[in-house]
Amino acid sequence: MVIDIVTVVPDLLSGSFSHSIMKRAQDKGLLKVNVINLREYTTYPRAQVDDYPFGGGAGMVLMIEPLVNAIESLQKSTVYDEVIFLSPDGKKFNQKMANSLSLKNNLLLICGHYKGIDQRFRDHFVTQEISIGDYVLSGGELAAAVLTDSIGRLIPGVLNDETSALSDSFQDNLLAPPVYTRPEEFRGWKVPEILMSGNHKLIEEWRYTQSLERTTERRPDLLD
Cα-Cα end-to-end distance for the chain: 33
d(CA 50, CA 62): 4
Fold of 167-223: Trp Operon Repressor; Chain A (1.10.1270)
Distance CA 126, CA 120 (A): 10
Starting at the earlier edge strand, list the strands of the sheet with 106-111.
32-37, 2-7, 106-111, 82-92, 128-131
Whole-prediction pTM value? 0.90
Instruction: Please report, in tens digits, the pLDDT of each residue of the chain (224 residues total).
Output: 999 999 999 999 989 999 999 999 999 999 999 999 999 999 999 999 999 999 999 899 999 999 999 999 999 999 999 999 999 999 999 999 999 999 999 999 999 988 899 999 999 999 999 999 999 999 999 999 999 999 999 999 998 765 666 556 677 889 999 999 999 999 999 999 999 999 999 999 999 999 999 999 999 999 98
pLDDT for 45: 96
Protein fold of 2-152: Alpha/beta knot (3.40.1280)
The predicted structure's pLDDT at residue 165 = 64
Element (H, E) at 6: strand 2-7
